[in-house]
A and B are shown apart, each in its own frame.
Chain A
Amino acid sequence: MPKLKVNDIEVEVEDGLTVLQACEKAGAEIPRFCYHEKLSIAGNCRMCLVEMEKSPKPIASCAMPAAEGMNIKTNTPFVEKARKGVMEFLLANHPLDCPVCDQGGECDLQDQSMFYGVDKSRFKENKRAVPEKHMGPLIKTQMTRCIHCTRCVRFATEVAGVSELGAIGRGEDMQITTYLEQSMQSELSANVIDLCPVGALTSKPYVFEARPWELKKTETVDVMDAVGSNVRVDTYDWEVKRVLPLINEDINEEWISDKTRYACDGLSNQRLDTPFIKYNGKFEKASWSEVFKIIKSKFENSSKDKVCGFVGDLTNMETGYIFKEFFDRTLNNNNYDSRSDNRFLDNSERENYIFNSSINGIEDADLIFLIGANPRYEATILNARIRKAFVNNNTKVISLNDSGDLTYPYKNLDGQTQTIKTIFEGSEEISKEIISAIKPMIIIGESLLKLNSAEHLFNLIKNFLKKNNKFTEDWNPLNILSCDAATVGNFDLGILNSEKNLLEELKSNKFEIVYLVGQDNLEFNKKDEFVIYQGSHGDKGAEIADIILPGSAYTEQDGYFTNLEGKIQKAYKASYPPGEAKEDWQIINELAEVMNNRKLFNDKEELESSMFNYIKLQQEKQTTENKVQSISDFMNEKLNIQIKDYYFSNVIARSSKTMIECNNSKLNIKSTGTEG
């Protein structure tokens, strides 16, 4: 723990920290362009120069390790002069096009030149001009503005794990580019836009849309996958203009996936903005009271066990809870489920459906075994963590299937369930590796849980881990990788039907009324069912509906989401629902009022407290003792990882034009100009 002085303030820092970090600890802010906490140190922008006693020259504080007895000065004329000089060089070739630059207002170079720069240029020569580069559908380049900090190159190589960006040429000719200007093949690519301290890499879909100071900023969580990345939603009037990451070291660190960032244009396409009723196969606009009346008469004219309901993949927990209450209290039946497939779930214990080792735990793990999961597409941010664990600790990764490039090397097995069986019966080389590992992680994907022998395999894995004492007080090796934002929350709320197989009954057309709340993934042949669809987008669910109730998307209502680790987080209202649309919980509450002349809850607060009570009771009810597990049959089958199309995994993404472009660029489809 070296002690040093910064501006005469004594600080003690951990070993291995740099002078820059020591200065920050002492409260002295150091300007920087190339330095970034999450990336390796480059030391090439020279903006962080500080004065060190006994050193004749200023030192680059980002690259200098803090040492015992250093005496650092950050506010002397000497430092000021050094920074001024660096700034002058940086600005020598930087164009003065701030008024037409999208970075304007949140540009590090702009801000720092206000503090440290000189007001006029001595550079009389021609400025350097660099041709624009193609980097795919998300990143707009204006490489003349580039100051060669190489943050983007380091991010692509280190965090994203795709070495496609590089600096070619040298000196004045140096240019940042992808290899032969191909698109960046990464689901994290757009993070380079945030990293770029100048306007060289800006957001293509957001180009010339708004200025940062015009936007209303709401801190919320993301629902594009089950990770629950913390994001900031920027809105201009009603429209969500962009989504940016927020720092949460436990979840997404500083990154968000491209889908999280760019599916937001789907929030203004294909929206349901008024109630609709289907007459003779055509949808016609209606009023809320009309549709409620029709629904009421439908419910009254059918027996209660002929009604079923499904909750979707993006619904928040309040909606799920009030939906359940609506069925339990108003309709008096329990024909509801949140699963759209026949996946195995034993919800007697919470650990059976969450990611127990936690996302932070990935960095402590010494062996990661992926079974039926492709984290790159199912949980991109989590995959970045696995890569980080691989880079820092050389964590061994084994995957049952060959999942292609996961951005880190892994050993792949044959993808047969027989292999899982032999491994977890303890007779394989890998079994021993799991036993000898101190903190192994078994990551089970949804694809495994959908298999016929899922129950057998799941119990086999769990029992094997229990038997070998892998469950300790601070480590739980069992991890379920959920794909959708609402999954864990719905399971916590018990929106399940374990007595009946609702899906089979639905497929054999046993129901008269089907109530879908944001559920677009059901596959059944509609016959005479009366389908009520409540949701935000006109997608598969709305297509088969007889009545459409326009709901809200995640940015338009407050709502809780539980991420795959079981962390409960609140998404805040950034905008309001379009047209006649209402918040989802309100719709169900009002429908209940129409049916029974009594609201289910007086207000949102009552709903929330009731919901949390329920969750608390549920969790207390869970027994920790071992119950007798039924041994179900095993059959050997091929485990295929079914990943939904990454760029079209939910209604918002499916409505997004940017996601279509991303998909096309991935498949190398050239734009013809005639598509939608």
Chain B
Amino acid sequence: MSLRRPAKNQPEIFEFSSSSMEEANKIVSKYPKGKQQSAVMALLYIAQKQNDNWIPLVAMKCIAKFLDMPYIKVYEVATFYTMYNLSPVGKYFVQVCTTTPCMIRGANKLVEACKEKISDKENELSNDKSCSWMEVECLGACVNAPMMQINDDYYEDLDKEKTVEIFDKILKGEDPKPGSYRGRLNTEPENNRKTLMDEKNA
């Protein structure tokens, strides 16, 4: 929750990169003229992606000017939604699901791994400033519990060792493979049962 208040150390400047700008213009063009303010949420998300997963105040100002709306209105939106991070969270932003199904399947072990590998506390940057973690509510992948999200990708069917492995990789700057870590394809059943009609493995 603390990420919904702006960080103390703020960068001085923020500008959309050319690719973000292109994306932003594309979104703004979807709205009729004079209603471009509707694009504020999408633009905040673009800014967040560009800026290592967090939105500095200068970015909000930049968006407000871009959309011709008061600063406070952008600020209101940015502080309202939990998926906008207003403090640095690192290049790799780990969100561990700890809602009931994941919890039953051992999400607390994942949290332990986070504490060991990344930082003692939630929302605290790792030593090399590249990574932070937080507990979140259900990410909607209960079939593959326990799971976590790193940036845009889901890492599923985890246990402590596998989680540590993933963290080792990201701390080295590699991108681990997303998806199930028990070799499943998406959410397929694990014991080869493919349909309800299939009685063999019932």
Contact = CB atoms under 8 A, between A and B. Distances in A.
Contact of A163 (B1, B5, B73): B73
Contact of B75 (A168, A170, A173): A168
Contacts of A179: 70-72, 75
A180 B4 contact: no
Contacts of B76: 166-168
12 contacts: A157-B70, A163-B69, A166-B72, A166-B73, A166-B76, A168-B75, A168-B80, A169-B4, A170-B79, A179-B70, A179-B75, A180-B57
A446 interface: no
Interface of A: 157, 163-170, 173, 178-180
A366 to B, nearest CB: 21
Contacts of A164: 70, 72
6 closest Cβ pairs, A-B complex: A163-B70, A166-B72, A168-B79, A179-B72, A166-B76, A179-B71
Contacts of B5: 169
A206 B81 CA distance: 38
A157 B80 CA distance: 19
B72 A178 contact: yes
Contacts of B4: 169, 173
Interface of B: 1, 4-5, 57, 69-73, 75-76, 79-80
B187 to A, nearest CB: 32
Contacts of B80: 168-170
A166 B79 CA distance: 11
Given A168-B79, A168-B80, A179-B71, 4 more contacts: A164-B72, A170-B80, A173-B1, A179-B75
B175 to A, nearest CB: 34
A170 B5 CA distance: 12
A167 B76 CA distance: 6
A179 B76 CA distance: 9
Contacts of B79: 168-170
A13 to B, nearest CB: 33
A271 B76 CA distance: 47
Contacts of B75: 166, 168, 179-180
Contacts of A173: 1, 4
Contacts of A169: 4-5, 79-80
B152 to A, nearest CB: 24
Contacts of A163: 69-70, 72-73
Contacts of B1: 173
A173 B79 CA distance: 10
B120 to A, nearest CB: 24
Contacts of A178: 72
A630 to B, nearest CB: 49
Contacts of B71: 179
Q: Which of the listed residues A157, A170, A179, A180 has the most CB atoms from chain B within 10 Å of its own CB?
A: A179
